[in-house]
Structure 1
């Protein structure tokens, strides 16, 4: 079997991942052409992943959560000012694993992040924790994130 390559007229032979250039004198290309003549079709290349989303600032994240009605306006102002974690966000963070050892735990790391972060990256695991806690789909959050990046 063979697979197409995005933006290239060559092909990949699946058996050994060899890249075969579109050269009529190349034996591998000739074998591929014969394979096509038998009625076979190369598989399409995998879909490109969605483009990476930009990191957003503390203010953009806070305003986005406020616009989604997850936090109040007063909580938004407190959040972007001295770094006070709004109770709804703290409730989500408090669901993460923690212990009394003083060692890093998911909860302590998340609390440190939201208390002191100046920017938030979409691929940070805490963002997905919030997404799941709110019942948002990844597509929904991607759309909101892109909007928040424009605030």
Structure 2
């Protein structure tokens, strides 16, 4: 059995490989390991493609970025985004979403205060997930919104 290991750039690494019987196949000048690799390819095997990694999801975005991204996504209007970023006036979609948050122990008031006065929004807060769902965003859509907002 032959095993191969790709480096971070996807190219085959010249390493020592251990086979089933625990013997080592060294990377040697006569290229025996490379010949074994080419035989493995000839048998119809193929190296694994390097994993594709998307852009990193920012931990937080600014209030302006959040409002602008929501306006560009069509969740709120541009006028609402400007009023929210400039004066903390919540868009109607946010007010409607807040109506669905329980009004116990000040949860709704706390959420309203956070939305109206925060200067940054944290992606991993439970309230982000809750409000996102109320606005029609699943976790992947929220990640995409955060990524887009970070570029604005």
Q: TM-score, normalised by structure 2?
A: 0.59
Structure 1's consecutive aligned runs of 4 or more residues displaced over 4 angstroms after TM superposition are none
The separation in 1 between residues aligned to 2:114 and 2:58, in whole angstroms, is 19
**RMSD over equivalenced CA pairs, Å:** 1.9
Structure 2 equivalent of residue 59 of structure 1: 64
Contact 1:63–1:76 (CA under 8 A) maintained in structure 2? yes
The separation in 1 between residues aligned to 2:117 and 2:57, in whole angstroms, is 23
Structure 2 equivalent of residue 118 of structure 1: 119
Map 1:4-23; keep pairs closer than 5 Å: none
- Which residue of 57, 82, 85 corresponds with 1:80? 85
**What do residues 91-113 of structure 1 show as CA deviations (whole Å, max 9, x unaligned)?**
101211115xxxx4210110010
Q: Give, in angstroms, the shift of residue 76 of structure 1.
A: 0.6
The separation in 1 between residues aligned to 2:136 and 2:77, in whole angstroms, is 19
Structure 2 equivalent of residue 18 of structure 1: none
Q: Confirm whether residue 98 of structure 1 aligns to residue 99 of structure 2.
A: no
Gaps of 5+ in 1: 1-32, 34-49
Q: Give, in angstroms, the shift of residue 51 of structure 1.
A: 5.8
Structure 2 equivalent of residue 68 of structure 1: 73
The separation in 2 between residues aligned to 1:52 and 1:147, in whole angstroms, is 9
Q: Give, in angstroms, the shift of residue 129 of structure 1.
A: 1.4
The separation in 2 between residues aligned to 1:82 and 1:91, in whole angstroms, is 19
Contact 1:54–1:149 (CA under 8 A) maintained in structure 2? no
Q: Give, in angstroms, the shift of residue 52 of structure 1.
A: 5.7
Q: TM-score, normalised by structure 1?
A: 0.60
**What do residues 103-144 of structure 1 show as CA deviations (whole Å, max 9, x unaligned)?**
x42101100101110000001222111221133221122122
The structure with more radius of gyration: 2
Query: Once structures 1 and 2 are overlaid, which stretch shifts more, 104-113 or 133-142?
Result: 133-142
Gaps of 5+ in 2: 1-21, 23-54
More strand by share: 1
